[in-house]
Structure 1
Amino acid sequence: MRDIKGILFDKDGTLVDFQATWFAVGDRLALQAAGGDRSAADRLLDIAGYDFERRCFKADSVFAAGTNAEIIALWYPEVEPAERAEMTVAFDRITAEEGALQSVPLPGSREAVASLHASGLKLGVVTNDSTGGAEKTLAALGIAQLFEAAYGYDAVARPKPAPDAVHAFCDLTGLKPSQVAIIGDNRHDLEMARAGGAGLAIGVLSGTGTRESLTPMADVLLDSVADLPALLRVEVS
């Protein structure tokens, strides 16, 4: 653990309560896509990964782990690429604003981040939300100043699970990938860690991922990010 000098955090499900934050936003977008038809909107939510019986988004579903561009491609398959690109910009704006307004921090997440930052670790965020959405949410939570950078799907050539954000973070901080721990609640996060040669791949059970889905890819599995300081032997402030 002493070789770890930096941490890349996933955002939703790791720092932010995914279900509490995103169902209302997703429902609004689905209703918009369905022209206000409730039944049609529910079908769109279903194919994007919402489990109505369990009232949560499924692990590794498009809504839980994908980008706005992937959601639009799923919901508007008949739309031409140029129009989809315009729609993605609109989705990015809505999710950035509403995601920040609706953001609910996971218990202990802000305190954990503050302690890790105070210990001298370099911190970053990598998300398949937009970069603007990540920055607005971190600001709303009052922790933006603790991070070196936030990388959305639009900040790199290839979003998660590709390792581009890992390389960008290492270029920025001067760290080696082997000195970086990556923590997230979906397989995309852990696959990115493996692809990028990260020193530690940490799964958390605070989001949409399950013990069954994360265990095969994780070096360590934690209940939440609040347990991370203890893992890295950092005193909680």
Structure 2
Amino acid sequence: MVPNGTINGILFDKDGTLLDYAKSWLPVNRELARIAAEGDGELADRLLAACGMDPVTGHVVPDSLLAAGNTTEIAEGLVRAGSPLSVAQLVERLDPLFSSAARSAVPVTDLAGFFRDLHGKGYKLGVASSDNERSIRETAERFGFAGYLHYIAGYDSGHGAKPEPGMVFGFCKATGLAPEQVAVVGDNNHDLHMGRSAGAGLRVAVLTGTGSIASLSEAADHCLNDITELESVLPRLQAV
């Protein structure tokens, strides 16, 4: 953690951070399990459980595959748990599902206004997600904040996957910032560990995803209820 006033860029996770995870992704998770099970309801429930979601309550285990995995990792987990489809077949079917999910996603706040305010203060802004890049771009367009972003990275953008540091380094290259000038904001430990391995100046956890204070506090400098508290927690942040 660096002193306030030295953060000039903010790199956000998408699902569970900008989007309410439970409202946006529980129906998608059920659909991906149905696809992976080829319509077999009992198998779909077993696949959900194996990947981290209780098929009855909808609770998703923090840092599980469904909480933090990218498409390939989820596909591999589904195959290990008994899906009759191959990893390649699942990736081919799940990526479009995840992209279309942007149309029914629920934001945690007015994202256009939120990003407009940060952009107006001079911050460099980016989104780094374990989802595919197309889905991030469609989400940004739908909620009106695409024009405020300096950087977008998905698992398929060539920067590596979380919790590797590549997405942070890509943000730094795109913005001219050093890692210690960057705050990483996310809802699970993949985000926070990515920030730590990259040497990010600040790691901020939010509770609008699958993580909890108990699961996130060790790797986070701050745990917030949601992204709207970011500036109130860091009132002296000023971009240059």
Structure 1-normalised TM-score?
0.92
Q: Deviation digits for residues 118-177 of structure 1, max 9, x if unmatched?
A: 111000000100011111111111111111121001113421100001111101100000
Matching residue within 68, 73, 82 for 1:70: 73
Contact 2:68 2:190 in 1 (8 A): yes
What are the residue-to-residue correspondences of 1:135-214 with 2, within 5 Å? 135-214=137-216
Q: CA deviation at 1:200?
A: 0.3
Matching residue within 87, 90, 105 for 2:90: 87
Moved more, 123-132 or 19-28: 19-28
Name the counterpart of 2:19.
Answer: 16
Query: Aligned pair in 2 of structure 1 residues 234, 91: CA closer, same or farther (>3 Å)?
Result: farther
User: How many Å separate the matches in 2 of 1:145 and 1:232?
Assistant: 24
1:57 partner letter:
V
Matching residue within 21, 45, 48 for 2:51: 48
2:29 partner letter:
G
User: How many Å separate the matches in 1 of 2:111 and 2:143?
Assistant: 10
Q: Deviation digits for residues 29-62 of structure 1, max 9, x if unmatched?
A: 1112112111211111111111245432121010
Moved more, 154-163 or 190-199: 154-163
Q: CA deviation at 1:86?
A: 4.6
Moved more, 38-47 or 53-62: 53-62
Contact 2:8 2:182 in 1 (8 A): yes
Q: Percent identity at matched positions?
A: 39
Query: Aligned pair in 2 of structure 1 residues 34, 90: CA closer, same or farther (>3 Å)?
Result: closer
Gaps of 5+ in 1: none
Moved more, 60-69 or 30-39: 30-39
User: How many Å separate the matches in 2 of 1:131 and 1:187?
Assistant: 20
Name the counterpart of 2:123.
Answer: 121
2:103 partner letter:
L
Q: CA deviation at 1:110?
A: 4.2
The size of the alignment, in residue pairs, is: 233
User: How many Å separate the matches in 2 of 1:205 and 1:29?
Assistant: 24
Matching residue within 60, 64, 67 for 1:61: 64
Aligned partner of residue 195 in structure 2, secondary structure: helix
Aligned partner of residue 50 in structure 1, secondary structure: coil
User: How many Å separate the matches in 2 of 1:29 and 1:13?
Assistant: 18
CA RMSD of aligned residues (A): 2.1
Contact 1:116 1:229 in 2 (8 A): no
Moved more, 87-96 or 1-10: 87-96
Name the counterpart of 1:34.
Answer: 37
1:218 pairs with 2:220? yes
1:119 partner letter:
K
User: How many Å separate the matches in 2 of 1:207 and 1:109?
Assistant: 16
Q: Which runs of 4+ in 1 moved over 6 A?
A: 78-81
